[in-house]
Amino acid sequence: MMAEVRPNDPVDLVAAMASGDSGAPLNAFYAQYASTVLALLMKMLGSREEAEDILQEVFVELWRRAPQYDSSRGSVVAWVVTVARSRALDALRARTRRHGDKQQQFFSERHGLGTDGGRPDVLVSSTRWHQALRQAFKRLDEDQRAVLELSYFLGMSHSQIAEALNLPVGTVKSRILAGMRALRTMLPIIHRSMRV
């Protein structure tokens, strides 16, 4: 007999989807995470229409990959955000292949890159800093990374994050603070190790 699925418990919903159920658990999972995923996709892609197309692909992939989800490796929201981000990056790469350098220039200008007049020394420094930041972010605890992604990449408030993750607001604030402290500790070390 199948265990009862708690409708607000993301781990239970993923387990139900992993068993092949594409009905109520998938609908509840979609209701819980669709707005978060759509916001991330729109921010990364700059197009609501494209974001809505990819939104469907993300949830189909999450349903197919549900049997592979391992709660010991991170929270459900971190898994969801990782899959969505990956699909958005695929779309950006495909767009770049279709439109060539013009799209890359647009993306660089939009995200504050390339405002240095093309000076090689500034570009190298910026690239190293972004690499250092990515390395530090990968070292964060999954729970810290999840709240920081939602807060800083999606611009969600503490209460929105708490609702999305089904956590108390105080826990969200604590994880953000702990994550920022960890990044502050790691970044100077990583950045120094990347210098030529």
Find, among 178, 188, 183, 186, the residue nearest to 144 by Cα. 178
Count the Cβ atoms, other than its own, within 10 Å of residue 176. 18
61: which 2 tokens?
């992939």
**Domain ranges (residues) in the chain:** 1-111, 119-196
pLDDT, tens digit (0-9, with 9 covering 90-100), for 45-66 = 888 899 999 999 999 999 999 9
Quickly name the fold that domain 1-111 has: Rna Polymerase Sigma Factor; Chain: A (1.10.1740)
pLDDT, tens digit (0-9, with 9 covering 90-100), for 72-105 = 777 788 888 888 888 888 888 887 776 654 444 5
Confidence tier at 8 by pLDDT (50, 70, 90): low
Query: What pLDDT score does 58 carry?
Result: 93
- What architecture (CATH level 2) is domain 119-196? Orthogonal Bundle (1.10)
